[in-house]
Structure 1
Amino acid sequence: MTEPAVLRLYRKWGPWLFARAICFKAPYFSTIRPRFDVLEPGRCVASLRHRRRVTNHLGTVHAIALCNLAELAAGVMAEATLPAGMRWIPKGMTVAYLKKAVGEMRAEAVPEAEARMADTGYDLPVRVEITDRAGEAVMRARIALWVTPKRS
Structure 2
Amino acid sequence: MPASVLDLYRRITRWPAGHWLFSRAVCFKAPYFSSIRPRIELLEPGRCVASLRHRRAVTNHIGTVHAIALCNLAELTGGLAIDAGLPPSMRWIPKGMTVEYLRKATGTMRAVATLARPVAEAGEGYELPVDVAVNDPAGETVFRARIAMWVSPRR
Return the alpha-carbon distance in structure 2 between the equivalents of residues 81 and 47 of structure 1: 21
Return the alpha-carbon distance in structure 2 between the equivalents of residues 21 and 113 of structure 1: 27
**Aligned residue among 71, 76, 84 for 1:72:** 76
- Please list every run of 5 or more consecutive structure 2 residues that lacks an aligned counterpart in the other structure: 14-18
Return the alpha-carbon distance in structure 2 between the equivalents of residues 116 and 18 of structure 1: 26
Counterpart amino acid of residue 75 in structure 1:
G
Report % sequence identity: 66
- Please list every run of 5 or more consecutive structure 1 residues that lacks an aligned counterpart in the other structure: none
How far is the alpha carbon of 1:113 from its aligned partner? 2.6
* Aligned-partner SS, 1:81: coil
Root mean square deviation of aligned Cα: 0.9
Q: Match of 1:12?
A: 11
Residues 1-152 of structure 1 correspond to what in structure 2 (within 5 A)?
5-14=4-13, 15-151=19-155
How far is the alpha carbon of 1:57 from its aligned partner? 0.3
Counterpart amino acid of residue 98 in structure 1:
L
Return the alpha-carbon distance in structure 2 between the equivalents of residues 74 and 28 of structure 1: 15
Over residues 33-65 of structure 1, what are the superposed CA-to-partner deviations in whole Å (9 max), with x where a residue is unaligned? 000111001100011100000000000000000
Q: TM-score, normalised by structure 2?
A: 0.93
Q: TM-score, normalised by structure 1?
A: 0.95
Over residues 79-101 of structure 1, what are the superposed CA-to-partner deviations in whole Å (9 max), with x where a residue is unaligned? 10121211000000000000000
Counterpart amino acid of residue 154 in structure 2:
K
Return the alpha-carbon distance in structure 1 between the equivalents of residues 46 and 80 of structure 2: 10
How far is the alpha carbon of 1:5 from its aligned partner? 0.8
Asked if 1 retains the 8 angstrom alpha-carbon contact of 2:96 and 2:147, the reply is yes
Return the alpha-carbon distance in structure 2 between the equivalents of residues 115 and 150 of structure 1: 14
Return the alpha-carbon distance in structure 2 between the equivalents of residues 5 and 95 of structure 1: 29
